[in-house]
Amino acid sequence: MLRRLRSNTPNLHLGLMLALTFSTGVVDAVGYLGLDRVFTGNMTGNVVILGMALAGADGLPVVGPVIALLSFMLGAVIAGRVLRPITEGWTSRSTSLLTVVAVIMVALAVTLLVYGGTPPKPQEYIVTLFLAIAMGIQAGTARHIGVKDVTTVVVTSTITGFAADSRLAGGKGQPWFRRAAAIVLIAAGAGVGALLLRLGLGWGVSLSALITVAVAVLGHAGSGRPTEAEKVTAATTTPKPA
């Protein structure tokens, strides 16, 4: 099993990032439909909603998008700080960060399932905060793993590449499978998340938590020796004695 996982690391990482893309769709459905029209993964949506709300559009939230945006940035800062000294790819630090994401998601899922409904406003903001932090850490980790065209949290650039590099636009070839899969999976995740909301707010978060746990375990198992890249980086960045 381990040998099979490690035999084609690029494809393994692609599959895992696509799984997280699906998970983001689920989480964004939970946030937008269950947490007062707030995106916890797709920050473009929050920026647009916030801009319209500040311009005076009726019925649009302000506090939720601000909390989500700042929390997502905090999560990305954490991931960037942890991964900065490490070479691109999957290392033990990637596993650790995704484990943190999984722990946050599991804790939120259990809390929401026990509560059994949508929490009132102050507690709702706490759920938004932790979901967005988790998504920020996930996005920062995925960025460092470096699977092209699969950021796990947004597909606008992927759609642009898919169209601009198509034969209709004069292109001669592109990684169409990963681009199409990322687009389809985030939409499918949103659909599944919307359906799970009928059962309760915690079910979508539970599914995302399960996916994140599986990704962390499989990614770590398939990375071979996750500290090798760290050792190489440390060796090349340690200053030589005069």
Q: Give the CATH number, domain containing residue 131.
A: 1.20.1250
Residue 157 confidence (pLDDT):
87
Domain membership of residue 238 (yes or no) is no
Residue span of the structural domain in which 28 resides: 2-232
CB 110 within 8 A of CB 205: no
In a domain, 203, yes or no: yes
pLDDT category of residue 229 using cuts at 50, 70 and 90? very low
pLDDT > 90: what percent of the chain? 62
Distance CA 162, CA 108 (A): 35
Q: Residue 209: inside a domain, yes or no?
A: yes
Residue 49 lies in a domain: yes
- Poorest-confidence range of 2-11, 21-30, 52-61, 185-194? 2-11
CA gap 186, 168 in Å, rounded: 24
Q: Let me know if residue 189 belongs to a domain.
A: yes
| Helix spans in 30-120 (H) | 43-54, 63-83, 92-115
Domain membership of residue 241 (yes or no) is: no
Instruction: Give the tokens for residue 170.
Output: 């004069």
Measured in degrees and rounded to the nearest 5, phi and psi for residue 48 equal -65, -45
Identify the pLDDT of residue 226: 44
What integer is the mean pLDDT of 193-209?
94
Domain-located, residue 56: yes
Q: What is the DSSP letter of 91?
A: -
| Number of domains, the chain | 1
Whole-Å CA distances, 89 to 24, 27, 95, 234: 21, 25, 11, 15
The whole model's pTM is what?
0.87
Domain membership flag for residue 237:
no
